[in-house]
Structure 1
């Protein structure tokens, strides 16, 4: 006879990290999903403009910040937007590296990931694969609790990342790649790796706070 997860297990919280890759500005977002309830824990950007043309330093900054976020929020899964293929080959190469570094940071902690095309993300959130960044941000405001509208222009990369995370939630976490462990499971299996109790306390505290503003 077939067995099914209990309702209690189905309602366990899941932490999803969304990433909108960039070589100048990289957006990130962290949401907690419990059943159909979505709580925004944080969304912001990694500003890389200060590093100029030093691409290697930018990649290290991305990796280091990703590890910090993983330690703080203990995500179960990563959702990341696929690069948009344009005419500038060099720009595409750099963007692909930035995306790869973000993925590598999660894989180093055994966190599975899913890649979504930009049109898929927009379609999931707005109903149109051709929606603008402003339209995506507007629709998110109709769905989630976010900071006041006057703060929106500087947060468009962050709201893009939030859209990626929400898109993954709408997909019910299907098609995760490269393993099935969460960072929490990694810590449980490797207690000597970093300070698990400290990281756990940070995550719990973050979940109790209102959404962090950029």
Structure 2
């Protein structure tokens, strides 16, 4: 019986964090790989979205996940980047369905953070929790750390689909 593979995504226009986790019966999931898709701020939004699309297609082809979980961003009125992030989120959603026939689940930030133990944890605290939980030699310090936690929460069954 094959073990499920999940892709966790922390969306953004400048940086998309991603992580691939594989289910492991009777134990914690295994982190297969993680990283970021980074776009050049000097490019137009359309060019940056094309870059996200191409890189995400490569990830889906390489790892063929059975599930995809994406953080649903929360914005207050002062966030200027909201428009770009929401456009990136739309492209990510489209590519996941078009390329892998998977409708991603969307998780609230507080819910996947609660799954780790603290719904208000900052990025450094999330990195510490992930490092401890998965017994990593070094702590992921970029946007991929949230993606690891998102994939982990989804693989463990968290659903608050929006």
Q: What's the TM-score once normalised by structure 2's chain length?
A: 0.89
Shift, 1:130, TM fit: 0.7
1:63-113 C-alpha deviation (Å, 9 max, x unpaired):
111100000000001100001222146521211111111111110020231
- Which residue is equivalent to 1:47? 38
Stretches of structure 1 that go unaligned for 5 or more consecutive residues are 1-8, 178-214
Does residue 116 of structure 2 align to residue 118 of structure 1? no
- Which residue is equivalent to 1:28? 18
Secondary structure of the 2:23 match is: strand
Report the structure, 1 or 2, having the larger helix content. Answer: 1
- Which residue is equivalent to 1:167? 153
The answer as to whether partners of 2:105 and 2:161 remain within 8 angstroms in 1 is: yes
The answer as to whether partners of 2:106 and 2:160 remain within 8 angstroms in 1 is: no
Stretches of structure 2 that go unaligned for 5 or more consecutive residues are none
1:28-75 C-alpha deviation (Å, 9 max, x unpaired):
000110324311110111111x24251111111111111000000000
Structure 1 residue runs of 4 or more that deviate by more than 3 Å after TM superposition: 174-177
Question: Considering only aligned residues, what root-mean-square deviation do their CA atoms show, in Å?
Answer: 2.0
Does residue 59 of structure 2 align to residue 62 of structure 1? no
Task: State the structure with more CA Rg.
Answer: 1
- What is the total number of aligned residue pairs between the two structures? 160
